[in-house]
Structure 1
Amino acid sequence: MLGIAVIVAALAALIWLAYRGVSLLLLTPVLSVLAVLLAQGGPLLATYTQVFMQATGGFIVQYFPLFLLGAVFGKLMEASGSARVLADGIIRGLGPSRAILAVILSCAVMTYGGVSLFVVAFAVWPIASALFREADLPKVLIPATIALGAFTFTMTALPGTPAIQNAIPMPYFGTDPFAAPGLGVIAGALMLGLGWLWLEYRARRIGPGYGADAGADADAGPSVPPSLFVAALPLVLVLALNLLFTFGVIPRLETAYLAQPLYGQTDVGALRGVWSIIAALSFASLALVALNWRRLAARLSETLDAGARDSLMPIFNTASLVGFGAVIASLGAFGLIRDWVVTAGGDNPLISLAIGTSLLAGMTGSASGGMSIALATLGDTYLEMGRAAGVSPDLLHRVTAVATGGLDALPHNGAVITLLTICGLTHREAYRDIAMVAVVGPIVALVVLIALGTAFGSF
């Protein structure tokens, strides 16, 4: 029981101190070492270098290209004015009376096209602020509105999304980014619908009035922005090329060399999804530069450097949370939790997978971090359980991805903290609505997904 109490205390400290603004890069290794010290007395240095840092480094090695290319692509979208044009076009098309839906869809289009949710938050905030002010809607709903569009259905549910949360399950289950597309669309629609209904209800309940101004404005972009077609084309390319490389190009490549020790003794099935996203983001970024050469040429080097820098903090924060989770997973008490999780669903591995992934995402405050830990420690177990129960790997993939998108948005989540900072609001003012659209809604969608998957299988 002491070990379980230590795990709970470490998680509580992580949430509280992250809420207080302590850097995750400092917080996670300190809490990891303290947890080992209190639970089993050491060895402390070995825990730090051989467990924490090995897990942290392993995550960076495997997923840094996706973070890097996603951040560069997003920065190019921002610097070219494409992000603002897309958001503004959707808002104009729907009108101020649909301000909440307009902001949700603006965020969704950009994140589904591969733009980092951090970039989306910065790009959409000034437009959302102006639109909410014009519609006389309460500013306290802006963070939840942005979170619904950027942190939920486009991150975990919609098939083909280039989000890291959709990429991590692929090497474990041998799947692709379009796993269980029908179920993904249904889960995504539920998240969108429930979240939108809640925000509209809250807008009526709070009543008219924007509130005091606060927050930072984003760069206005180039003086002559691109057309809506030019702004949207790179996002379309990301999705189209992702599909093309996943099912057309990469399966036809000669990849027998991957069985050699030099290349990790693997096969193309484990790498196809990651390779597809890397290729899609690379070609889409080149197309974006070509389409916006006059807008980007003068600041291209500066923009690329900024994008590369923007990738560092998100991946190191996420990787450090993976390291924290790995240390927690190494504690003896974690075995009790793991054994309970594996049996929690009875004969249904989907329930067990959902519970385990959700809990770890909540413990780390990171969807990708929690997912990585769950799959690294239990991925093979779940795959075997799925095979024994006749559950498709595609269904395991989609349940895993959607399960990460609920408890990950607890108050210590880095994206939540960043979003509130951008909007100039506090947890007390705005987190309740974030929790409803980014925690409760995704959990409801997950329950429906599991029920449909159990009844009808993957589709």
Structure 2
Amino acid sequence: MGLIGILLALGVLIALAYRGWSVLLLAPIAALIAAALSGQPMLAHWTQTFMPAAADFVGQFFPLFLLGAVFGKVMEDSGSVRAIADELTRRLGAQRAILAVVLAGAALTYGGVSLFVALFVLAPMAEALFRRADIPRRLMPPAIALGTFTFTMMAMPGTPAIQNAIPMPFFGTTTFAAPGLGLIASAIMLGFGMWWLRRAEARARAQGEGFTEIRAPEIDQAVLRERAVTAREFDPAEATRGHQSPDLPSGLVAALPLLVVIAVNLTMSLLVLPALDLSWLAQPIWGETSFGAVSGVWSVAVALTAAIVVAIGLNYRRLPRLRATLDAGANASVLPIFAVASLVGFGAVVAALPAFALVREWVLSIEGGPLVSLAVATNILAALTGSASGGLTIALDALGETYLQLAQETGIDPQLLHRVAVMSAGTLDSLPHSGAVVTLLSVCGVTPRAGYFNIAMVAIVGALLALVAVIVLGTFVGSF
């Protein structure tokens, strides 16, 4: 009965979330259903299991949600996001429209700009380029997805995406975990994605299909928002608030804050923090934590803070309503982190139920070793929740300690666990019910029927190929 309760609770959560119900409400309800059908005390699980797990997630990652959203809003309102997109458009031109869109998305997201901030700039950029190049509108979403959903979110060394930060406290790693494997995975995803999109473009031209001005009907914004906030760390409702500068900076000025994020993150992760004596973190006053549990979050937080300061300093005159910009960015971080934290709370309740032992045994019994079973478990949870960050945190909360112990027993580098976990979370999270996918299709004016297949090819198939390559290389060669 307990296992039936878990499955029923998951069904309720998925079905109603897909229809636009708030995860803030659904997650505790689903957790209570699972607890009740397992014969467990509901109120105790709500206040003593669900809430501490959700609060721990907020406590660990709110700085990154907050700073990431503020940075994205500063970059947007200063005109820097548009300037970078325009610069790449000018340099590559309409003849390489798909490549221009992919590289623009990659530059923005790898530099720390939140996905939804990037989407609202990339969509009109892609529309203008595809119109000039006479490329079908339906190829806009996969081109944007390739640059924003894939290698810059889960494979590129040092990417400040929240998904790449989540495993750090569990495995004592940094955002630069397994950099060589990450670069190989990035090359596979980018190479496969570009090959597929060029092939799709060539087929469309051969069939006489060109750009169309017809747009799909917009999705209800309230429903869209509820789906979107569990997918990425920016509330799209705040994207239109603040004051966007009509005066754009130069490409170099616009790109400098992105370079600051990468450089400061690298310096903090590899040079500054490892050189400090942080043994005092083990004292009770600091929560008896360790250097490995906090160093990654600290590095990204410092990097984003430095980038915000640089972006404001370079664009102060373009930010006449700076307070409104900062307020919008801060507000944009609140709903996403609480939505994901609620999913984490739900996962904590499920993991605490006696029936979850059957799930744990099944996962750990998957043939292929810890890397394969970790990949399967994380993929399943990301697929069910439609959230890479939610699925990843649930998986690591429930099984992270077990996998770390298995890694120590079998000689697997925790950095390899980190990279496999992040890449696994970023594959099946792009199923049709994903908030990021729904939002992308909506802003591009493309129906799921017309646009989703190519999104799946570049964001799921390409990512799975890269994940398999990393697991195989990690198994036979190790982490590098």
Report TM bin, short chain: over 0.9
Corresponding letter in the other structure for 2:265 = N
Corresponding letter in the other structure for 1:35 = A
* Corresponding residue number in structure 2 for 1:287: 310
Asked if 2 retains the 8 angstrom alpha-carbon contact of 1:156 and 1:405, the reply is yes
Q: Distance in 1 between matches of 2:410 and 2:277?
A: 34
Corresponding letter in the other structure for 1:158 = M
Q: Distance in 1 between matches of 2:456 and 2:355?
A: 29
**CA deviations over 1:411-440 (Å, ceiling 9, x no partner):** 332222332332344433433322222222
* Cα shift at 1:9: 4.0
Corresponding letter in the other structure for 1:397 = H
Change (3 A) 1:132 1:168: same
Asked if 2 retains the 8 angstrom alpha-carbon contact of 1:78 and 1:221, the reply is yes
Change (3 A) 1:85 1:385: same
Q: Distance in 2 between matches of 1:84 and 1:243?
A: 26
Q: Distance in 1 between matches of 2:421 and 2:117?
A: 25
Q: Distance in 2 between matches of 1:104 and 1:4?
A: 43
* Corresponding residue number in structure 2 for 1:118: 116
Corresponding letter in the other structure for 1:67 = F
* Corresponding residue number in structure 2 for 1:7: 6
Q: Distance in 2 between matches of 1:318 and 1:418?
A: 17
Structure 1 stretch 198-207 or stretch 175-184: which is displaced more?
A: 198-207
Matches within 5 A, 1:10-89: 10-37=9-36, 39-89=37-87
Q: Is 2:298 aligned against 1:275? A: yes
Asked if 2 retains the 8 angstrom alpha-carbon contact of 1:138 and 1:211, the reply is no
- Superposition TM-score, scaled by structure 2 size: 0.89
Asked if 2 retains the 8 angstrom alpha-carbon contact of 1:16 and 1:412, the reply is no
Asked if 2 retains the 8 angstrom alpha-carbon contact of 1:138 and 1:209, the reply is yes
Asked if 1 retains the 8 angstrom alpha-carbon contact of 2:423 and 2:463, the reply is yes
Q: Is 2:406 aligned against 1:385? A: yes
Give the SS at the match of 2:365.
helix
Asked if 2 retains the 8 angstrom alpha-carbon contact of 1:86 and 1:228, the reply is yes
Q: Is 2:374 aligned against 1:353? A: yes
Change (3 A) 1:450 1:117: same
Change (3 A) 1:349 1:398: same
**CA deviations over 1:108-154 (Å, ceiling 9, x no partner):** 10110011111111121111111122222222222222222111111
Q: Distance in 1 between matches of 2:213 and 2:16?
A: 29
* Corresponding residue number in structure 2 for 1:165: 163
Supply the RMSD in Å over aligned alpha carbons. Answer: 2.1
Structure 1 unaligned residues grouped into runs of 5+: none
* Corresponding residue number in structure 1 for 2:225: none
* Cα shift at 1:159: 0.4
Q: Using the aligned pairs only, state the percent identity.
A: 56
Structure 1 stretch 120-129 or stretch 323-332: which is displaced more?
A: 323-332
Matches within 5 A, 1:394-433: 394-433=415-454
Give the SS at the match of 1:363.
helix
Corresponding letter in the other structure for 2:186 = G
Q: Distance in 1 between matches of 2:464 and 2:422?
A: 12
* Corresponding residue number in structure 2 for 1:182: 180
Q: Say which of 459, 471, 479 aligns to 1:438.
A: 459
* Cα shift at 1:211: 4.0
Corresponding letter in the other structure for 1:447 = V
* Cα shift at 1:173: 1.5
* Corresponding residue number in structure 1 for 2:325: 303
- Superposition TM-score, scaled by structure 1 size: 0.93
Q: Distance in 1 between matches of 2:314 and 2:266?
A: 22
Give the SS at the match of 1:161.
coil
Change (3 A) 1:202 1:317: farther
Q: Distance in 1 between matches of 2:15 and 2:142?
A: 21
Asked if 2 retains the 8 angstrom alpha-carbon contact of 1:132 and 1:210, the reply is no
Q: Distance in 2 between matches of 1:416 and 1:319?
A: 21
Q: Distance in 1 between matches of 2:191 and 2:65?
A: 29
* Cα shift at 1:454: 0.9
Q: Distance in 2 between matches of 1:335 and 1:353?
A: 16
Q: Distance in 2 between matches of 1:64 and 1:12?
A: 28
* Corresponding residue number in structure 2 for 1:247: 270
Asked if 2 retains the 8 angstrom alpha-carbon contact of 1:14 and 1:412, the reply is no
**CA deviations over 1:262-309 (Å, ceiling 9, x no partner):** 10112222211110000010011101100111111x110000000001
* Corresponding residue number in structure 1 for 2:97: 99
Asked if 2 retains the 8 angstrom alpha-carbon contact of 1:82 and 1:226, the reply is yes
Asked if 2 retains the 8 angstrom alpha-carbon contact of 1:322 and 1:373, the reply is yes
Asked if 2 retains the 8 angstrom alpha-carbon contact of 1:147 and 1:437, the reply is yes
* Cα shift at 1:96: 1.0
Q: Is 2:237 aligned against 1:235? A: no
Give the SS at the match of 1:201.
helix
Structure 2 unaligned residues grouped into runs of 5+: 222-235
Asked if 1 retains the 8 angstrom alpha-carbon contact of 2:245 and 2:318, the reply is yes
Q: Say which of 130, 133, 155 aligns to 1:132.
A: 130
Matches within 5 A, 1:361-380: 361-380=382-401
* Cα shift at 1:165: 1.3
